[in-house]
Amino acid sequence: VDSAIINHVRELHTPPSHPVFELVPVTFQQYAQLYYDELGAPPVTHSNVWDVYQSLLSRFQEWNVIPANLIAEWSAPASSEASEGDDHIDIPLLADLQELPFIINTDGSYYMGEVNNGHGLGL
C-alpha cells in the first residue's frame, strides 16, 4: 500500500490532536513517561510488556497519598461527559474532516474505511 494514501486517509479521519486519542489525562501521561524514562525507556515487546507494566504500576503505588487534585483529574474524564445509562459518548466530527464510509454487508457485518473504495479487503 502506498504510504501517501495511508497518510492522506490519516489526515482526513484521524488527526493526532483529536480528543479521542487522549487515552489518559495529561498529568497521568507525564508521570507515566517520567517513570518509564527512569526505567531506561526499554522497548516494549511481547516478552517484557508485563514486567514494564508492573514496574510502572509499582512506581505509582509508591505514592502513599496521591494528591487530591490528581485523583479528581484522573477520575473525571469520560464519566463526566456521559449520562447515566449511556454506553457510549458521541464525539462530534471536527471541522474540515469527513465521516468514514459506512457499508453494511448482507450478513449484517459492516465496514468503515476507504480500502477498496470502502469495501474493505475481502472484496
CA-based R_g, the chain, Å: 20
pLDDT, tens digit (0-9, with 9 covering 90-100), for 10-55: 887 777 777 777 788 888 999 999 999 999 999 999 999 999 999 9
Neighbours of 34 (CB within 10 A): 10
Report the greatest alpha carbon distance in the chain.
56
- First-last CA distance in the chain: 16
Cα gap 14→123, rounded to integer Å:
24
Beta strand 102-104 with 110-112 is antiparallel
pLDDT, tens digit (0-9, with 9 covering 90-100), for 68-101: 888 888 877 555 555 555 566 666 777 777 777 7
